[in-house]
A = this chain, B = another copy of it.
Amino acid sequence: MTGQSEDGSNGGEFRGHRDTAQVDVPVAPPRRTGPVGGLPASRSGPPAQASAPLPAQRALTGPVPLPADGRSDASPLVRTVERHLDEILAAVPQPDPIELAVLDAQGLLCAEDVVSQRALPAFDQAALDGYAVRAEDVAGATVARPVELPVVGESVAGASEPSSIGPGLAMRVAAGAMLPAGADVVVPAVWTDGGAARVAVQAAPPVGSYLRRTGDDVAPDDPAVHVGTPIGPAQISLLAAVGRDRVAVRPRPRVAVLSAGTELVEITSPLSPGQVVDVNSYALAAAARDAGADAYRWGILPGDQRRLAEVLESQLLRSDLVLVSGTFSGPAFEMVQEALAALGGMRVSQVAMHPGPAQGFGRLGRDEVPVIFVPGEPVAALVAFEVFVRPAIRLMLGKRQLFRRTVQAISGQHLLSPLGYRQYLHGTVMRHPDGGYVVEPVGEATDALLARMARANCLIVIDEDVTEVAAGGLVTVMPLLLGG
Contact = CB atoms under 8 A, between A and B. Distances in A.
Contact of A240 (B159, B282, B331): B282
Interface in A379-421: 382-383, 385-386
A377 interface: yes
Contacts of A454: 3, 224-225, 229, 234-235, 237-238
A96 to B, nearest CB: 23
A431 interface: yes
Nearest to A73: B194
Interface in A341-391: 376-378, 382-383, 385-386
Interface string A111-151: 00000001011110001110000011001111110000000
A277 interface: yes
A204 B50 contact: yes
Interface in A264-278: 266-268, 271-278
Contact of A204 (B49, B204, B267, B449): B49
A450 B218 contact: yes
Given A194-B74, A273-B161, A279-B240, A3 B456 contact: yes
Contact of A268 (B157, B178, B243): B243
Interface in A149-181: 156-162, 174-178
A29 B126 CA distance: 27
A283 B143 contact: no
Given A49-B141, A290-B233, A449-B216, A273 B159 contact: yes
A202 B68 contact: yes
Contact of A123 (B3, B50, B274): B274
A482 interface: yes
Contacts of A53: 135-136, 139, 204, 206-207
Contacts of A241: 277, 279, 378, 450
Which has the most chain B C-beta neighbours within 10 Å: A54, A162, A204? A204
B69 A202 contact: yes
A283 B64 contact: no
A93 B215 CA distance: 43
A70 to B, nearest CB: 10
Contacts of A431: 9-10
A15 B142 CA distance: 44
B287 A233 contact: yes
A20 interface: no
Indicate the size class of the contact surface on chain A: 35 or more
A91 interface: no
A457 B143 contact: no
A11 interface: no
A5 B481 contact: yes
Nearest to A55: B207
Which has the most chain B C-beta neighbours within 10 Å: A194, A232, A244, A451? A451
A42 interface: no
A251 interface: no
A97 interface: no
Contacts of A282: 102-103, 236-237, 240
Contact of A327 (B1, B174, B279): B174
A243 B59 contact: no
Interface string A322-349: 0000010111100000000000000000
A273 B143 contact: no
B273 A178 contact: yes
Given A49-B140, A53-B139, A176 B210 contact: no
B237 A279 contact: yes
B206 A142 contact: no
Nearest to A46: B203
Interface string A450-462: 1111111111000
Which has the most chain B C-beta neighbours within 10 Å: A66, A123, A141, A161? A123
A238 B450 contact: yes
Given A74-B194, A157-B262, 14 more contacts: A1-B480, A6-B481, A47-B209, A49-B204, A53-B139, A59-B207, A67-B191, A120-B451, A157-B263, A217-B452, A238-B450, A238-B454, A240-B267, A240-B277
Q: Which 5 residue pairs of A and B lie closest in terms of their CB atoms, listed nearest first?
A: A59-B208, A4-B457, A46-B203, A237-B283, A60-B209
